[in-house]
Amino acid sequence: MARCDQTPPGEFLRALFDAALAAADPRRALAGHIPPAVAGRTVLAGAGKAAAAMAHAFEACWPGPLEGLVLTRYGHALPRDRVEILEASHPVPDDAGLYAARRILALAESLGPDDQLVFLASGGGSALLALPASGLTLADKQAVTRSLLRSGATIAEINTVRKHLSAIKGGRLAAAAAPASIVTLAISDVPGDDPAVIASGPTVPDPTTYADARAVLAKYGIDKPAAVVEHLAAGRGETPKPGDPIFRRARFELVASPQDSLNASAAEALRRNVTPIVLSDRVEGEARDVALVHAAIARQLRAGEFRIGERRIRPPAVLLSGGETTVTIRGKGRGGRNVEFLLALAVALDGAEGISALACDTDGIDGTEDNAGAISYPDSIARAAARGIRATAALADNDGYGFFATLGDLVVTGPTLTNVNDFRAILVAA
């Protein structure tokens, strides 16, 4: 077996990331979750960055008649024979998403009691399915989305607002499809794998309320557009709640999750004789604050003082974590939450010997850029300084992308056609 001390750190970290992606491959994930046929029609619908690949996997396994429409992000489509694939904008919705959402809702409304709706949910579905509630416009939703994305709100908070501005999310698609049977197959990209948060839960009960949505906007000082504020204040037509009879014939199955990918990555580390330490699959918080905690743990491990019970864990070891951090945008630089995390980590470690790290989004797109993330090395700050770039200044400007692009250390995968959120691996060498 290859040992870590014989493998370049960047190559080792990429191998762990590749193992995480393989575990979330829809072709593998959906194989054991195909529902039986029903007497009537089976309609396949879905939304998310993994939706097209999930539809591809489902169609390959489905022997009978099949129809439907699946919505994914631009650049994530795969051609299919029986199911139509459309693309739209993410994370800010556009007209293409509005058009597709209307058609998906119409498909659900066409179903009868002998039919079934199979809904493929994955990360990004909430932004893609842009069907505003009555009295709201797409421009209203675009404006509040931009404000929420800049505010540092968590994905659960953002989706709480989205569900209460929508005619299709928060269980409303299930309401349209009832009394047909409904099967939701989901790839989770949210901390805790909450079905109501994944793609804003179009086919599952929503425990959140208009009051919760108002509280999110108040927390982050968002008071525009006026139509959104007025809609939430009126609170008319709550989302369907747990126990609602429209869900009597609905079931939810989680087919892939962040924890699955962390487990696969840990197995790959063990195969290479490196001790994996899985911290959590549900890490949230400001990216640069999360980086400080990870840096402290990495230093403890490097010093040989990291303990689990009576066992002292010594390098080589790798810290693994998932979840979804946030970035409160204050500067004018480029970059998503993963390069923000990684740059803050590098600043905190300040060239500490023997510690390298990778942070990537498993969908292959960190924020809105063309990279999945990046890799940092003990000499990253020194190499940047030699090029006239101060790491602290880049961090203050939210310019993680520019920092790692200059070093040639961005990780560029292109769309991976899956999404189980962020992946972080910090290698502490012997």
Q: pLDDT of 284-329, one tens digit each?
A: 999 999 999 999 999 999 999 999 999 999 999 999 999 999 999 9
Q: What are phi and psi of 380, to 5 degrees?
A: -60, -45
What does the pLDDT look like over 204-214, one tens digit per residue?
A: 999 999 999 99
pLDDT of residue 45: 98
Q: For a pLDDT cut of 70, what percent of the chain falls above it?
A: 99
The β-bridge relationship of strands 422-428 and 317-326 is antiparallel
Q: Grade residue 162 by pLDDT with cuts at 50, 70 and 90.
A: very high
Q: How distant, in Å, are the alpha carbons of 92, 128, 215, 324, 398 from that of 143?
A: 9, 15, 18, 22, 21
Domains of the chain, first to last: 4-22+259-428 (3.40.1480.10), 31-204+206-239 (3.40.50.10180)
Q: How distant, in Å, are the alpha carbons of 11, 23, 134, 368, 426 from that of 297?
A: 22, 26, 49, 30, 10
Average pLDDT, the chain: 96
- Cβ atoms 352, 315 nearer than 8 A: no
pLDDT of residue 1: 33
pLDDT of residue 105: 98
Give the mean pLDDT of 45-61.
96
Look up residue 6 and give its two tokens. 């014989």
Q: Grade residue 163 by pLDDT with cuts at 50, 70 and 90.
A: very high
Strand partners, 123: none
Is 235 a residue whose pLDDT tops 80? yes
Count the Cβ atoms, other than its own, within 10 Å of residue 164. 27
Of 305, 173, 147, 190, the C-alpha closest to 247 is 173
Give the type of residue at 17.
F
Give long-range contacts, CB 8 A cutoff, 24+ apart: 1-9. Answer: 1/271, 1/272, 1/273, 2/272, 2/273, 3/272, 3/273, 4/272, 4/273, 4/274, 4/316, 4/427, 4/429, 4/430, 5/316, 5/429, 5/430, 7/272, 9/356, 9/375, 9/377, 9/427, 9/429
Is 2 a residue whose pLDDT tops 70? no
CA distance 169 to 130: 9
CA distance 375 to 15: 13
pLDDT of residue 108: 98
Could you tell me the pTM of the whole model? Answer: 0.93
What does the pLDDT look like over 271-285, one tens digit per residue?
A: 999 999 999 999 999
pLDDT of residue 79: 83
Is 23 a residue whose pLDDT tops 80? yes
Q: What are phi and psi of 379, to 5 degrees?
A: -100, 10
CA distance 248 to 296: 48
What does the pLDDT look like over 68-106, one tens digit per residue?
A: 999 999 999 988 789 999 999 999 999 999 999 999 999
pLDDT of residue 142: 98
Name 312's Cβ contacts closer than 8 Å, sequence gap at least 6. 304, 305, 306
CA distance 341 to 347: 10
What does the pLDDT look like over 366-418, one tens digit per residue?
A: 988 999 999 999 999 999 999 999 999 999 999 999 999 999 999 999 999 99
pLDDT of residue 3: 45
pLDDT of residue 394: 98
